[in-house]
Amino acid sequence: MSPLRGSGARARVTRLPRRSKVAADSGNRNIFRYLDPSGEGQVSEMEWGVLDSIFKEIRFSIGEFVGFLDRTFDNLDDAWDFLDDDSSGAMDYQEFTDACKSIGFFGPGRPIFSYLDKDDEGTVSLQEFQVVRTFHDEPVPPEKEEQ
Ligand SMILES: [Ca+2]
Ligand SMILES: [Ca+2]
């Protein structure tokens, strides 16, 4: 019997998981993966609550990170020149952690980096880095002032 017998054999198409009812938008994708390691594309409502608070925490951390950049550099272009230490046009994780140390930022580096690395390929491009500008534009929470 020929092992090649069976003309009907065809490659099995692996179906992508159905889109979760909780949409994992690009900003949340990396975090989403933490909570959905099996990749079934579903998070329960309870998990979503956890996700949401993690997400807020990461946004807060990035806000802090951007604050550090602000205090250290004149503008974000200068910050980028510093972050992309070897001027390769992208910041890898090593460059990121080195830069964090240099500016004295000891926040949660990995989640911040993962957030910035939107396409998840392991480096943050200048274009991906632009997202920090949105943290700039966020209204600063009003300080509790007398009067
Ligand atoms: Ca680089
Ligand atoms: Ca990237």
Q: What is the pLDDT of residues 83-112, one digit of tens each?
A: 999 999 999 999 999 999 999 999 999 999
CA distance 118 to 30: 8
Residue 64: HSE in the Cβ half-sphere, 13 Å Cα cutoff: 15
Q: How far is the CA of 113 from the centre of ligand 2 (A)?
A: 9
Rounded to whole angstroms, the Cα distance separating 112 from 100 reads 11
Which bound ligand lies closest to the C-alpha atom of 115? 2
Tell me the residue range of the domain where 41 lies. Answer: 29-137
Q: Which of the ligands is closest to the CA of residue 121? A: 2
Asked whether the whole model's pTM tops 0.85, one would answer no
Structural domain contains residue 12? no
Report CA-CA distances (Å) from 73 to 85, 117, 131: 14, 22, 17
Pick the ligand that lies closest to the CA of residue 123: 2
Residues with CB under 5 A from ligand 2 (ion): 117, 119, 121
Identify whether 61 is part of a domain.
yes
Query: What is the CA(1)–ligand 2 centre distance, in A?
Result: 51
Tokens of 33: 């993966």
Is 7 domain-assigned? no
